[in-house]
């Protein structure tokens, strides 16, 4: 395999992410294939168009139903782009057990206002809204100029904005505090940002008089009111979509985790009631729910009788409809991978044979990508590019021919590069409360991403959330998909807190805990607070830290050496070295940091004792199956022969089951999988412990 081919296969492997979570809707990728779910797309576009056309009301909601892997989460990324092109806003809400519906919804709206509207190089959604409001108020030039100043907006600028909007609609006076907060939050400059953030998150002001300095009252409005006001303000400039995703797992939690009498009853009631009220509480907003079919049935059954009248007919997403759609789904991903690798392939879907897509029409998109990922991993491991001729699981076993394995790479070059970058890394800003929100997410995300690669095949079930927007409540999140069918997940959430003032530190702690979903009812959530300053001994702080510890969270110091490792890995990833992944799996630098080595030790894969060495095949692999009774000669089967049907004929008690188990074990040692149908548990019983030590001998296993 040539270096360009190896580089291309590595790039393909990186874009085959079938564990993408809802947060990946914020990563703009040109992967969407029209025609995959035409009915769903049409209904969603109609909803966005209706929201754009309406003056104050909201259209009927829409439900996207489908099995795991059908593309529900991917479709949300397409929705985000479509509503942005319509001049609107996108908000993504994920619920956890015990979440207050309106607090979680409002928190998602505030967080997502700090994210780019449609791509990394465009303003955040809050700034888009501010520009629209300023133009409506007749102060567009003034507000744009003020937003560019290092100090941001002044009190006079806010007064001009509010007065201009009041002249258009006197009803907006009721929302003047939230208008001011939205404007300050959008600029992300000066001391007013924290004041604005506290108002939008229904928090008390940090110091008396903070809000008065910006023309705002001290009143703390509940999350429901903030959501209503934000929706009304944003509706002045464009439509919105509030997407609710990944509620399936919390609706299936046992009652022991949900305090009540009926399994999942309180959680279902909370979600169902909130969804039904959302349409009436918002303006020009399409409410979109993505879930499994039985999840929506449970919500409908627990909601009021008019539930089905408030949402459009559910949409069922199924498997890939045609070979053409399957090919386009893959081709768009490969196009990005080849561009990243600088590789010119023989054809757009190399190394997949174009005819293979005729066998993909019964697969979900996730299953298709998984099959491709397995093939690419095999090619990289064997050092041989083999064409994938079909996606069915009955493909014959292919044994790589002798002489095609590449020599193991010399990691000295990458070792030297890592040592150099680690020594040069400057990470002090991550410990500065003024810069932690910009620096810490980048470093932590780089470290977690490298940690996933170090796990090899075991890392396929993990993903890292995209970088957050400004003023994020948490700095990084690692997810592990426990059940692909229900999207049940385990989370590790990280937040650096460098603030020395006890009120500021406590506020960040509370916000981070709320966003992480940590709590006594959610053992699959872990929140790690990274703080090098001592906490104060005040009762409020101590109470919150006790709650953190009781919920399985931790507050630990953050070592600069760990961050230097993460920064070096970030820069090495940007080099696109084709041997970087192999180097990560061999050296495991992220796993070796004090932070990740401690927090993730219980889920990390076993480190290799040395760089894996593949044996040089002198001939086709064989399986010894026994000895002849007459001559004592060893009987062997070629591994490739087992790709055909195998039958064993012998009398009762002659050892057929033991022989079959031997075949399965020998195949496994050669990396070949077996599918075993064992309705009578004959093979399973062979796994029971022996009552006494077995006799050992040349013919005894």
- pLDDT for 694 equals 47
- The three-class DSSP label of residue 636 is strand
CA distance 285 to 232: 10
pLDDT tens digits, one per residue of 603-660: 865 444 444 444 444 445 777 777 656 545 566 777 766 766 677 877 776 777 878 8
Q: How confident is the model at residue 536 (pLDDT cuts 50, 70, 90)?
A: very high
Which single residue is written with the structure tokens 């996108």? 90
- The dihedrals phi and psi of 316, each to the nearest 5 degrees, come to -100, 120
Stronger pLDDT, 451 or 664, i.e. the higher one:
451
- The three-class DSSP label of residue 315 is strand
pLDDT tens digits, one per residue of 366-394: 889 889 988 998 888 888 899 999 987 55
CA distance 470 to 467: 10
Where do the structural domains in the chain lie, given as residue ranges?
37-122+239-318, 123-237, 424-599, 622-685
- pLDDT for 587 equals 94
Q: What is the tally of helices (H) and strands (E) in the chain?
A: 25, 12
- Is a pLDDT exceeding 90 seen at residue 13? no
Which residues are CB-neighbours of 632 under 8 A, at least 6 positions away? none
Q: What is the pTM of this model?
A: 0.74
On whether the CB atoms of residues 607 and 467 are closer than 8 A, the answer is: no
Average pLDDT over residues 282-305: 81
Instruction: Give whole-number Cα distances, 364 to 296, 361, 437, 673, in Å.
Output: 20, 8, 38, 22
Average pLDDT over residues 340-345: 92
Which single residue is written with the structure tokens 């990186």? 14
- The three-class DSSP label of residue 608 is coil
CA distance 344 to 487: 36
Lowest mean pLDDT among 82-91, 201-210, 345-354, 635-644: 635-644
Among residues 282, 295, 231, 227, which one has the least CA distance to residue 61? 282
pLDDT tens digits, one per residue of 429-484: 999 998 999 999 999 999 999 999 999 888 888 999 988 888 899 999 999 988 77
- pLDDT for 474 equals 95
- Is a pLDDT exceeding 80 seen at residue 551? yes
- The three-class DSSP label of residue 304 is coil
Stronger pLDDT, 353 or 395, i.e. the higher one:
353
- pLDDT for 287 equals 93
| Cα 9 off chain centre by | 22
- pLDDT for 292 equals 82
Average pLDDT over residues 406-423: 85
- pLDDT for 23 equals 65
- Is a pLDDT exceeding 70 seen at residue 19? no
pLDDT tens digits, one per residue of 225-275: 999 999 999 999 999 999 988 777 667 654 444 444 444 456 677 777 888
On whether the CB atoms of residues 341 and 576 are closer than 8 A, the answer is: yes
Lowest mean pLDDT among 12-21, 197-206, 483-492: 12-21
Query: 2.60.40.10, 3.40.190.10, 1.25.40.80, 3.40.50.300: which CATH number matches 37-122+239-318?
Result: 3.40.50.300
Lowest mean pLDDT among 188-197, 592-601, 647-656: 647-656
- Is a pLDDT exceeding 70 seen at residue 678? yes
CA distance 567 to 444: 9
- pLDDT for 191 equals 83
């Amino acid at each position: 395999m040539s270096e360009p081919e190896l580089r291309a296969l590595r790039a393909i492997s990186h874009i085959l992410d079938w564990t993408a979570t809802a947060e990946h809707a914020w990563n703009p990728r040109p992967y969407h294939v029209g025609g995959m779910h035409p009915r769903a797309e049409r209904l969603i576009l109609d909803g966005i168009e209706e929201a754009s056309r309406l003056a104050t009301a909201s259209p009927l909601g829409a439900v996207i139903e489908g099995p795991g892997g059908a593309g529900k989460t991917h479709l949300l990324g397409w929705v985000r782009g479509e509503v942005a092109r319509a001049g609107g806003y996108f908000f993504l809400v994920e619920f956890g057990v015990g979440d207050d519906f309106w607090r979680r919804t409002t928190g998602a709206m505030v967080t997502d206002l700090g994210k780019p509207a449609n791509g990394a190089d465009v303003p955040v959604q809050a700034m888009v809204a501010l520009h629209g409001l300023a133009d409506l108020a007749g102060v567009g030039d003034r507000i744009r100029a003020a937003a560019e100043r290092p100090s941001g907006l002044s009190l006079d600028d806010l007064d001009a904005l509010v007065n201009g909007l009041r002249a258009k609609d006197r009803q907006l006076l009721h929302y003047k505090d939230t208008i001011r907060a939205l404007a300050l939050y959008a600029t992300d400059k000066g001391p007013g940002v924290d004041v604005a953030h506290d108002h939008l998150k229904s928090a008390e002001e940090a110091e008396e008089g903070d809000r008065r300095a910006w023309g705002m009252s001290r009143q703390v409005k509940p999350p429901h009111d903030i959501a209503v006001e934000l929706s009304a303000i944003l509706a002045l400039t464009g439509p919105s979509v509030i997407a609710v995703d990944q509620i399936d797992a919390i609706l299936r939690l046992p009652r022991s985790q949900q305090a009540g009498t009926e399994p999942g009853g309180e959680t279902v009631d909370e979600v169902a009631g909130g969804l039904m009220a959302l349409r009436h509480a918002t303006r020009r907003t399409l409410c979109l729910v993505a879930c499994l079919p039985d999840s929506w049935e449970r919500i409908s059954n627990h909601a009021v009788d008019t539930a089905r009248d408030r949402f459009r007919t559910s949409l069922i997403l199924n498997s890939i409809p045609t070979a053409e759609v399957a090919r386009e789904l893959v081709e768009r991903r490969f196009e990005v991978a080849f561009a990243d690798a600088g590789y010119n392939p023989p054809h757009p879907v190399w190394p997949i044979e174009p005819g293979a897509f005729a066998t993909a029409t019964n697969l979900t998109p996730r299953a298709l990508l998984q099959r491709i990922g397995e093939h690419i991993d095999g090619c990289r491991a064997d050092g041989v590019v083999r064409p994938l001729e079909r996606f069915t699981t009955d493909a014959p076993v292919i044994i790589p021919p002798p002489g095609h394995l590449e020599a193991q790479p010399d990691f000295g070059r990458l070792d030297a590069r890592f040592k150099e970058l680690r020594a040069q890394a400057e990470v002090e800003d991550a410990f500065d409360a003024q810069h932690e929100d910009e620096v810490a997410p980048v470093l932590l995300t780089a470290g977690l991403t490298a940690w996933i690669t170090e796990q090899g095949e075991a890392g396929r079930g993990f993903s890292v959330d995209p970088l957050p927007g400004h003023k994020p409540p948490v700095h990084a999140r690692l997810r592990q998909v426990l059940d692909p069918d229900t999207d049940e997940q385990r989370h590790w959430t990280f937040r650096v807190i460098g603030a020395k003032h006890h009120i500021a530190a406590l506020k960040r702690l509370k916000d981070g805990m709320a966003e992480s979903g940590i709590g006594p009812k959610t053992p699959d959530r872990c929140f790690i607070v990274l703080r090098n300053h001592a906490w104060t001994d005040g009762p409020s702080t101590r109470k919150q830290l006790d709650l953190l510890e009781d919920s399985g969270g931790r507050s630990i110091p953050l070592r600069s050496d760990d961050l230097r490792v993460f920064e070096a890995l970030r820069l090495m990833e940007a080099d696109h070295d084709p041997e970087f992944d192999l180097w990560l799996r061999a050296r495991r630098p992220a796993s070796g940091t004090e932070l990740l080595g401690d927090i993730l030790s219980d889920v990390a894969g076993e480190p290799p004792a040395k760089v894996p060495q593949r044996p040089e095949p002198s001939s086709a692999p064989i399986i010894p199956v026994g000895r002849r009774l007459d001559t004592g000669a060893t009987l062997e089967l070629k591994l490739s022969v087992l790709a055909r049907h195998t039958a064993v004929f012998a009398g009762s008690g002659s050892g057929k089951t033991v022989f079959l188990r031997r075949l399965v074990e020998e195949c496994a040692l050669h990396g070949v999988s077996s599918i075993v149908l064992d309705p009578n548990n004959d093979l399973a019983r062979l796994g029971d412990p022996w009552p006494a030590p077995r006799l050992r001998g040349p013919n005894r296993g």
